[in-house]
Chain A
C-alpha cells in the first residue's frame, strides 16, 4: 500500500467504482476508444479534485458528476462529428444511466454466470472478439466469415446475454 492514507482512500474508492464509471462513460460515447480516452481524463480529474471530496460523501455520485462533465466536454470538442449524440440526449442518457447504476452492476455480476451458460465455442468467440488488439476482419477471415456476418453473430450473442442477465435478476426479485 502507499504511505499516504488519503492516497489509499482514493485508490480504494476509485477502483471499487471504476467498473460503473466505465460503463457509464461507455454508454455515452460512440466507440470504446473514446471511452478509454475519457476515462483517463476522469481518473486524473477525480484525483486532482479529491481534496474537495468529503469523507462520507457519496463517492459514486460525485465521480459520476465529474465523468458526465468530461463526457460532455469531449462530445462538444467533437461537435462536428455526427457520430456523437447531441447534448440533450446525452443529458438524458447520463441521468438514466446514473439512476440505473445499481441494476447494471447486478447485470454485470450476472453476466459471469450467463457466460458460463453459453456453449464454449460461443463464449470463446465473444472473448476473442473483445480481446485487446483484436481486428474483426482478421477474426472473421480466420473463421471463414465476412466481417459483417461476424458482427451479426456477436449481436445475437449479446442479445442472448442481456436476456439471460435480465432473467437472472428477475428470478432474484431484483429487476
Chain B
C-alpha cells in the first residue's frame, strides 16, 4: 500500500462518512478498475471495524432471537476463532419463566418532579428521593425516575404500572417516555396491547387500559409486538422517527401525529397549547411508520429541526435573533427522508386562524406551491450542524465546531382554522436534490402582534 496514493484519501473520507457524492463516484470508478485498490479498501474498512470493536470493548452485543433477548459478552482477539467462544450469557426471556414474574422492589431515584404525587400521598415527590417501587400509581403531575440500570422513565399522570423486574415494566394505562442509555438496552414495556422492547435508546409509549397502545421512537430502535409471544405475533422493528398504534385485536397502524414533550424535541418546557391539532401526509398507511412531532411553542434556538435527524437544530443567524413573530411558534418536526418524494403532501389541521411558516434552504428554488401561496418574509434562520460531507458545498458556512450550517428562508402565509396543505420540497421537474423544509405555526392573534419588517 503506497501511503502517497491520493486515492487512499478518498478511502479515508468514505470510511469516515465525509466523502461527497462526487468523491464516492471517483472512489467507485477507481475500485472498479484496480484490484489492488480494492484489497487496500477492504483492509482499511476491516481495520475500521476492528478498531470500533476494540474501542467499544465489544463487552456486550444485544440480539433478539425469537422470544428471547440475549446479552452476549465475550472477549476478542485472544483465541482462535474456531474454538468455542468464551461467553457469559445472560438470557432475558420475555416468556413466562417463574423467576421473571416474581414481584421486584425496584430501586429508583427521583430526578425530576413537577407536582408529582404517588398513590394517596398528599406530598409531592421530591428530587433526590430514593424509592423501592413495585407498583407505580402516579396520580398527578410528571416525574422522571432513574433506575439502577441507568434507564430514565418520564411518567405523566394519570399512570398505573408495575415493575415485573428492573428491566420490565407492565403499564396498565398512562404515558411515559424511556431513555435507556447504554446499559438499559432490552428494557421492555408491556401493555394490554402488546410489548415494546428498546434496543437503544429512547421512545415514548401511551397505553389505554384494555385497549390501544401507541409507541413513538425518538432515537435508536425498538421492537414492537401486539399481543403475546404465545399468540404467535412477530415483532416489528421501528427506527427513529417512526410511530405505530397497536392493539391485540386491530394490529399495527401508523401513528402520524405525536404531540411531543419539549425535552424530546431538544428544548426546555414552555407552557402553551399547540394551534396545530393534527399533522398527516399522503403516504401509504402500510408503507412507513414515521410520525410528525409537534412541539407547542417549540420553535426556539436549539430546537431539533427534523424527526429523523439527530443533529440539525434551528438557530438565529450569527449576531441576530429569531424574529419575535416567529419565536415560540409551534414546531412541526418534518421528516427529512421525504425530501425525495415528488408527490408528497403534508396536511396540517389548525385549531384556529394562524400564520404558517415554511423554512426553506435558501440555495434551492422555492417550489411552485410555495411561491403561489406564501411570501418570503426576508427573515433568515440558521440550521445545523449537517454532515461533514457537506463542507465545501456552495452556501454552507463552517462554524467553530468545524461542521457545516445552512441558512433557511422564512416564508409565511395566513391560514384559517381547518386543513392546510403543503407540497413537496421541490418541483417535479427539478433534478437537484433538495433538503426538507421545516414548518412552524403561530396562532394569528400572536403573529399579528409584531409583523415582519
Are B63 and A104 in contact, with the CB atoms below 8 A?
no
B81 adjacent to chain A (CB < 8 Å): yes
A97 to B18, CA, bound (A): 23
Contacts A83-B19, A115-B54, A132-B55 given; indicate if A27 touches B66 (C-beta within 8 A). no
Q: Does residue A35 face the partner (Cβ distance < 8 Å to B)? A: yes
List the one stretch of B36-44, B103-111, B251-259 in contact with chain A.
Answer: B36-44
Asked whether any CB of chain B lies closer than 8 Å to the CB of A122, the reply is no
If A31-B17, A93-B31, A137-B401 touch, whether A23 touches B46 (CB-CB below 8 Å) is: yes
- Across the interface, do A158 and B12 meet the contact criterion of CB distance under 8 Å? yes
**Which chain B residue has the least Cβ–Cβ distance from A20?**
B81
Asked whether, in the complex, the Cβ of A35 is within 8 Å of the Cβ of B49, the reply is yes
Whether a CB of chain B sits under 8 angstroms from the CB of A117 is: no
Q: Is the CB of B182 within 8 A of A132?
A: yes
Partner-contacting stretch, out of B84-92, B154-162, B203-211: B84-92
B41-53 toward A: CB 8 Å interface, digit per residue (1/0)? 1111111111111
Q: Is the CB of B81 within 8 A of A27?
A: no
Residue pair B53, A22 in contact (C-beta under 8 Å): yes
A109→B77 contact, CB < 8 A: yes
Contact of B14 with A by CB under 8 A:
yes
Tell me whether B49 and A130 are in contact (CB under 8 A).
no
A3 to chain B, nearest CB (A): 9
Query: Which residues of chain B from 330 to 389 have a CB within 8 Å of any chain A CB?
Result: 340, 388-389
A105 to B43, CA, bound (A): 11
Number of interface residues of A (CB under 8 A): 74
> How many residues of chain B get a CB closer than 8 Å to chain A's CBs?
68
Residues A86 and B28 in contact, CB atoms below 8 Å apart:
yes
| CB pair B16 A151 closer than 8 Å | yes
Cα distance, A146 to B403, chains bound together (Å):
10
B64 within 8 A of A: yes
Nearest-Cβ distance from residue B42 to partner chain A, whole angstroms: 5
Question: What CA separation (Å) do A146 and B400 show in the bound complex?
Answer: 9
A83 touches B389 (CB 8 A): yes
Tell me whether A137 and B403 are in contact in the complex, defined as CB-CB below 8 angstroms, given that A11-B89, A82-B21, A132-B182 are known contacts. yes
Tell me whether B394 is interfacial, beta carbon within 8 Å.
no
Q: From A47, which residue of chain B is reached at the shortest CB distance? A: B65
In the complex the two chains form, is A15's CB within 8 Å of B87's CB? Answer: yes
Cβ contact within 8 Å between A147 and B52: no
- Which residues A1-42 have CB closer than 8 A to chain B? 1-2, 7, 10-12, 14-20, 22-23, 26-27, 30-32, 35, 37, 40-41
In the assembled complex, A66 has its CB within 8 A of some CB on chain B: no
B270 interfacial by beta-carbon distance below 8 Å: no
With A23-B49, A111-B50 given, can you name 15 additional A-B contacts, CB distance below 8 Å? A2-B89, A11-B65, A47-B66, A107-B46, A129-B55, A131-B56, A132-B182, A137-B401, A137-B403, A151-B16, A159-B8, A162-B1, A162-B40, A165-B43, A166-B43
Name 17 A/B residue pairs within 8 A (Cβ), A-sorted.
A2-B68, A12-B85, A16-B85, A19-B50, A22-B53, A23-B50, A30-B19, A30-B24, A35-B49, A40-B237, A92-B38, A96-B38, A100-B39, A129-B55, A158-B12, A158-B51, A166-B43
